Amino acid sequence: MSNTKLSVNINKFATIRNARGGNNPDLIQVAKDCETFGAEGITVHPRPDERHIRYEDTRALTHVVGTEFNIEGNPNQTFIDLVLETKPTQVTLVPDGPNVLTSNAGWDCIKNEKFLKETIALFQSNGIRTSIFIDPVVDQIKAAKQTGTDRVELYTESFASQFELDCEKAVRPYREAAETAISMEIGINAGHDLDLKNLKYFVTNVPNVLEVSIGHALVCDALYLGLHNTIVAYLNQLR
């Protein structure tokens, strides 16, 4: 049985709201409902252009999320100030540029060791757990240890894209990365393109995954199944 927590990324609900203006769907109610339906965390990823989650959304959600609140994003000064103001359970550092459609690469922890080490120490000194978005590369996991991070979030796009071609080949680098992280006492999260087809296989074959963050696929499934049924279905994959 997996102990992996499901954190629902609600960015896409904000995208729908912003497309029409107004406050439908209401993100505060969405977050509350996700938790009522069984989600064990809420994730947001505010970007500089606020094309989905806005900074004001993040501030408002701080007061209503009763499970774990995870804020992810590129740690520029505006993002750092937002995280220090809102003090979420966890901050996930993602090296995405302002013009990317979605996160598309993990950190190079070797080249960015000094910056990451300083940023992580700042968040930790404020009682915020840290995680680094990272590719499943053993050398990068080892380098992440030097930054002092609490966790790494394995970037699972390559696993998802190769899953139906050769599931064992697709999962192997993630298993190796996780085993390295475990040996170094680094916690393991995962996210990006995990869905109802591949999630159970991933958490079954990658040891000690503490949390998965899922947004786009979950929202797409909710269009057909409904939000309550969808969250239950994802939790069933984890259990």
pLDDT digits (tens, 9 = 90+) for 22-43: 999 999 999 999 999 999 999 9
| Nearest CA-CA partner of 119 in 96, 93, 101, 158 | 93
d(CA 234, CA 48): 30
Query: How high is the pLDDT of residue 98?
Result: 56
User: First and final CA of the chain: distance in angstroms?
Assistant: 6
Question: What pTM did the predictor assign?
Answer: 0.94
* Low-confidence residues of the chain: pLDDT under 50: 1, 101
| Active site residues per annotation | 45, 72, 192
Q: Which CATH number fits domain 5-238: 1.10.565.10, 3.30.450.20, 3.20.20.70, 1.20.950.20?
A: 3.20.20.70
Respond yes or no on whether the N-terminal peptide bond of residue 25 is cis (omega within 30° of 0): yes
Residue 125 has phi, psi (to 5 degrees) of: -70, -15
The residues spanned by each domain of the chain are: 5-238
Query: How high is the pLDDT of residue 105?
Result: 78
